[in-house]
Amino acid sequence: MSAQTLSINGREFGFEPGETILAVARRHHIDIPTLCHLKGAMPTGACRICVVEVVGAKTLLTACNTKVDAGMQVQTESPTVVAARKLIIQLMLSSGNHNCAVPGSDRQEWTDFQIKVQGEDGSNQLCPVWGDCRLQDLAFRYQVSPERLDVTPARYPMETVNPFIVRDFSRCINCGRCVQACNEVQVNNAIQFGYRGPEAKIIAADDKPLKDSDCVFCGECVQVCPVGALVEKEGRYSVRLWETQQVRTTCSYCGVGCQLDLHVKDNRVVRVTGVDAPPNNGSLCVKGRFGYHFVNSPERLTDPLIKENGKFRKASWDEALDLVANKFKKIRDTHGGDSMGVLVSARMTNEENYVAQKFTRAVLKTNNIDHCARL
Amino acid sequence: MTNTIADIEQADVILVTGSNTTENHPVLSTFVKRAAKFRGAKLIVVDPRRIKLTEFAHFWLRPNLGTDVAWINGLMHVILKEDLHKKEFIQNRTEGFDALRKVVEKYTPDFVEGITGIPAENIVAAARMFAQAKTGSILYCMGITQHISGTDNVKSLANLAMLTGHLGAPGTGVNPLRGQNNVQGACDMGGLPNVYTAYQPVADLGMAKKMEDAWGVTGLSTQPGLTVTKMLPKAHSGELKALYIIGENPMVSDPDLNHAEKSLKHLDFLVVQDIFLTETAQLADVVLPSACFAEKEGTFSNTERRVQRVRQAVTPPGESKDDWWITSQIATRMGYAMQYPNSRAIFEEIARVTPSYAGITYNRLENEGLHWPCPTEEHPGTPILHTQQFTRGKGMFHAIEWIPPAEQVDEEYPLYLTTGRVLYQYHTGTMTMKSADLNERAPESFVEISGKDAEKYKLQEGDQVTIASRRGEIRVRVQIQDKAVEGTVFIPFHFAQGAANKLTNAALDPVSGIPEFKVCAVRIGKAA
Ligand code: SF4
Ligand code: SF4
Ligand code: SF4
Ligand code: FES
């Protein structure tokens, strides 16, 4: 047990030297909201949503990057804190195309604003991440509505020329998580902050589309963006979080074996996200994240095929399996097991590889088994 | 890998060789990049191409193709000469040291420069950097193994790790990166001609007896079987009559494709089981449709020996079925009943016959995978191998001489060709090529060539060229890239059109049976 303590909302907690207020609070399930804070990256204190009141401090302090001192007395939801958070949320909501109909938006300018956003979105739907947005969550939690709905056009148009990813600057809150994910987690160094003040924009290279930069489309930035500023191109609008089911599994491409969630809608894989567990701790690469279309491809084989006169025809399982079994049997009994071979696959499961080698050895009676994976 | 992926971030020096990590193991490469950029680890990259990782490296050593044993011996020469080797580790845990010392004697930095083209002073500096670090990790991939001297290359890296004591502790190790998701598992499960599960030799009579009892059969062969690279020639000569290919596409991945096609066509009976009608499946007599990873339950074992769950998310299309079901059906119809209710039951049988998996159960894998060896249900798994001793007791130094690659450039074929993968495609492309956006990023085969060579052969970006080797000829487009070094070109092997493996050399490593994909001689010319 650590000897030193602090108090959060009147309760005493121990802490390790160097810990932040946020870390201690989270460990004890005290919910301090965050937007810019990103696990595995240096805290920047950019968004200030995590502010807390500390007795004796002149201003509110950001919990994500303030280290704990012994005897500190912290309030995480005091009236001052709540007022500060409301203001931050309001400014963020007012700064872009956040047309998610948070409470209190029943005024006339709401309609003008919606029309403008629909025009810029090229869609008559609400924000593509409606229901899956940290800013919307916070606006709801603190019951905040935008102060003034800006109907002037967005400063930077949406970037839709890339494969995989749409960048919608009109919804960016400049939290910088994407920049940290790209530079500190994936270390692809493709994006950074560009321009100053109200002109601030996340830029790739010297402000080029992602596809013409060092971006390798790992999608880490999309996964960490708390709002709808970085969205997967496919399924934008058509895939809503609440319509999908997530199934955790292991990537089927390279040997890293990243843990991922397959998002399923109507018996189709429609999205893939990284799971925050070893070995990948949430990260994926372009193949693991965006290479899922083969599962649903119309070119998938659906029936056993038997070749006759150089052409394939469909067959039933019974017919195909009997044919294979009889042929194998005949060849084994005539020429011996060593006249046969089996190639297994690095893409099959352990269970399937096991069954295949058992079959080769116990039934075909040969050790002619190998896989192409060293090739 | 002897160590884990996360463990790479603990190393003080990381030596990456023959691995274009950022493209082939992208998420693993983030551990390397973070270590170099944020943790002050030193990074040494040894690769014939100026791969992305060289931008993060303190040293990029550029060896001529097929000269790996030479530079590794060179590093060891310097380490011994400067007395930087770990005497206690060598004394307590290894044998064969004197023979090693003797063989590396002549590999002076100057001698090695002559073979590899790596400047002598860089060999000295890299040797010091690697040996003097507290912990050092070696990562390698197919750039090391796909040579006629592949086995020697791997042994040489193990020599280097033992000499410097960088084994059996956090931040160390000799870490092969497996190219495909479950290569590790396919090998662990005995998908190899000479071993049962967990590398239990088929030639061992006791082993055969044990498996006969477990499987309820008699007469298991104790004669090691053929590797894939030997099966195809036997198919060609008629000795091999039937092949059952499950989920593989040798018609794109094999060396010397022209020959592979003839061999497969020569078979009496070819059965291919796959999710697509691949180039190989098209040659089959019977094609059986299987379920893909998203449609089944099971386990994969990743490159760090971590056994992880695969779970069903969607139903398989049409009549397609789990591969284990199909194989079991064939077995049953041949008179050997294989009736498993589900993959869990198979895994339980695996655990019974596989010492390194004995303690693993689906329940234990629910939230996080386990590293084998995991001999009992109480065992926590083994993230780091060889902490106390090596599998065979003492680590064996192998005294190895460098031999040149099987093919060298000459007047007729003046350029070296090496092959590999690109980020946006995977293996023979049967999966990735179904994603339109991946194809947009990597639509077709190409040859990567240096600016200087492009000038020399009067080629422009995007030109169609023909590339010919002693075995075949392909047409591809030119990409002039900084990655390429003068005298060596690179072609990815994913594409059936412009297939690199029409050119590559089927010369094999005598031990592993792996072909020399990484070196052959070619000529280049503008396509007519
Ligand atoms: S996709 Fe990956 S590489 Fe591209 S900007 Fe996002 S984080 Fe960076
Ligand atoms: S794009 Fe998203 S993650 Fe990046 S700064 Fe904007 S809101 Fe934050
Ligand atoms: S997500 Fe990428 S790095 Fe991870 S296992 Fe899949 S292919 Fe490999
Ligand atoms: S989360 Fe702390 S400042 Fe943004």
C-beta separation of B293 from B276 below 8 A: no
Q: What is the pLDDT of residues A284-312, one digit of tens each?
A: 999 999 999 999 999 999 999 999 999 99
Measured CA to CA, the distance from residue B368 to residue B378 in angstroms comes to 15
Helix (H, G, I), strand (E, B) or coil at B359: coil
pLDDT for residue A26? 96
Q: A48 CB less than 6 Å from ligand 4?
A: yes
> Which pLDDT belongs to residue A105?
56
CATH class of B179-223+290-318+344-375: alpha beta
- What pLDDT, on a 0 to 100 scale, did the predictor assign at position B250? 84
State both tokens at A187. 């270390």
For the ranges A90-104, B377-391, B412-426, the lowest mean pLDDT is seen at: A90-104
Q: Do A257 and B303 touch (CB under 8 A)?
A: yes
d(CA B221, CA A38): 57
pLDDT band at B165 (very low <50, low <70, confident <90, very high): very high
Classify domain B226-289 by CATH architecture.
3-Layer(aba) Sandwich (3.40)
CATH architecture, range B415-526: Beta Barrel (2.40)
Looking at residue B256, its pLDDT comes to 73
Least confident of A125-134, A161-170, B301-310: A125-134
Average pLDDT over residues B336-349: 97
CATH architecture of residue range(s) A154-238:
2-Layer Sandwich (3.30)
Distance between Cα B410 and ligand 4 center (Å):
63
Where are the domains positioned within chain A?
5-77, 154-238, 242-300, 336-374
Confidence of residue A1 (pLDDT cuts 50, 70, 90): very low
Question: Under a CB-based contact definition with an 8 Å cutoff, are residues A332 and A340 in contact?
Answer: yes
Q: To the nearest whole number, what is the mean pLDDT of chain B?
A: 94
Query: Could you name the CATH architecture of A242-300?
Result: Single Sheet (2.20)
- The tens digit of pLDDT for each residue in B96-116 reads 999 999 999 999 999 999 999
Is A287 near ligand 3, meaning CB less than 6 Å away? yes
In this prediction, residue A100 has a pLDDT band, given cuts at 50, 70 and 90, of confident
Closest-CA distance of chain B to residue A135, Å: 29
Query: What is the model's pLDDT at position A241?
Result: 87
What's the rounded Cα separation, in Å, for the pair B201 and B125? 42
Q: What is the pLDDT of residue B242?
A: 97
Q: Do the two domains B179-223+290-318+344-375 and B226-289 of this chain adopt the same fold?
A: yes
Residue length of chain A? 375
Class of domain A5-77: alpha beta
> By alpha-carbon position, which residue is closest to atom 4 of ligand 2?
A178
pLDDT in tens, A41-91: 999 999 999 999 999 999 999 999 999 999 999 999 999 999 999 999 999
In this structure, the strands spanning B94-95 and B59-61 are unpaired
The whole-number pLDDT of residue A291 equals 96
Residue B446's identity, in one-letter code, is F
Q: Looking at ligand 2, which atom is closest to the CA of residue A173? A: 7
Strand order in the sheet with A73-75: A11-14, A5-8, A73-75, A51-54, A61-62
Mean predicted confidence (pLDDT) in A194-222: 95
pLDDT of amino acid B443: 93
Mean pLDDT of chain A: 93
Q: Please give the radius of gyration of chain A, using alpha carbons only, rounded to the nearest integer.
A: 28
- Cβ of B241 within 8 Å of Cβ of A340? The answer is yes
Out of B25, B187, B369, name the one closest to residue A254 (CB). B25
Model pLDDT, residue A373: 63
Number of alpha helices (DSSP H) and beta strands (DSSP E) in chain B: 18, 19
Cα–Cα distance, B71 to A58 (Å, whole number): 62
What pLDDT is attached to residue B259?
82
Distance from CA of A133 to the nearest CA of B (A): 25
pLDDT in tens, B360-370: 999 999 999 99
What pLDDT is recorded for position B243? Answer: 97
pLDDT at A374: 60
**Residue A99 has what pLDDT?**
86
Q: What is the pLDDT of residue A29?
A: 96
Residue where the block lists tokens 């690109």: B422
Q: Where are the domains of chain B?
A: 6-177, 179-223+290-318+344-375, 226-289, 415-526
- Binned at pLDDT 50, 70 and 90, residue B354 comes out as very high
